Amino acid sequence: MPKIVDHAQRRDEIALVACRVVAAHGFDRASMVRIAREAGYTTGMLAHYFDSKQEIIIAALRLILRRIDERLSRPAQDTSRPDLLELLLEALPIDAHRHIECAFWITFWGQVTADKRLKRINAWVHREYMRLFERCLDVSWKEWPHWPPATREQVLRSLVTFINGLTASAVANPGDWPPPKQIAQLRLQLQLLHAWAVGASREPGAPSARARGDYGRALLPRGAGARRTL
């Protein structure tokens, strides 16, 4: 009886191998031959699933986005409000497989400006990326739906820009950005953004967070609220 092949799964396996090859060797050196060899296939077998290296790269982008989406999603039966920091750590290179994904992203970004099709793909990826992070903010911060649209947009864009920058720094200089430092920096950024959004969303005439003394406390680590502020 002939072996049943799950072609969708095999495409995902090849795309995942392509992520590793691009992360390790760069975009230019990630040839079809090298990807096939790393996957344990012949180039003929690879060509059965993908017409070109660019097709593999696009499949890898979609795979990574889907994997991030799955990791950022909470089980439907869990009705508690998730911790935003824990959710967003899924997008940072704090372990081996996430480092590969992030290294792939950074390498891909370097190719976007020279390829019109990759520009279009990158625009789509960016929209999906923003959608995922907006969902995380919505399910994690109870105030999110009540903030003005302009405030929400600025927080979202600031957060995505920060994570992209932190990702690039951690991939390029992993010794300077070990996981604990990445986590601490993201925690601080979330505290700053939340405090800013609370202040920016107040109705005209209401006392500001700084005037009430809450702004400084909002930026303190958990458990530090009882300390005397200067």
Question: What is the rounded distance in angstroms from the CA atom of residue 97 to the CA atom of residue 118?
Answer: 24
What are the sequence ranges of the domains in the chain?
Answer: 7-218
For 151, residues 6+ apart whose C-beta sits below 8 A from its C-beta are 197, 200, 201
Angle (CA) 75 181 103, round 5°: 70
Question: What is the rounded distance in angstroms from the CA atom of residue 206 to the CA atom of residue 222?
Answer: 26
CATH of 7-218, one of 1.10.357.10, 2.30.30.60, 3.90.180.10, 3.40.10.10: 1.10.357.10
User: pLDDT by residue (tens digit) across 30-70?
Assistant: 888 999 998 888 888 888 889 888 888 888 888 888 887 77
Distances (CA, A) of 36 to 10, 88, 92, 108: 12, 33, 28, 19
The DSSP-derived string for 31-79 is -HHHHHHHHT--HHHHHHH-SSHHHHHHHHHHHHHHHHHHHHPPPTT--
Dihedral over alpha carbons 16, 17, 23, 29 (to 10 degrees): -140
Per-residue pLDDT of the chain (230 residues; tens, 9 = 90+): 445 557 788 888 998 898 889 888 888 888 889 999 988 888 888 888 898 888 888 888 888 888 877 777 655 445 567 889 988 988 899 998 889 888 888 888 877 887 788 888 888 888 888 998 999 999 899 999 999 999 999 999 999 999 999 999 999 999 999 999 999 999 999 999 999 999 998 755 444 444 344 434 444 444 444 433 33
Least Cα distance to 163 among 218, 97, 84 occurs for 84
Q: Which two tokens stand for residue 175?
A: 């010794």
Angle (CA) 153 155 159, round 5°: 115
Q: Which pLDDT belongs to residue 3? A: 55
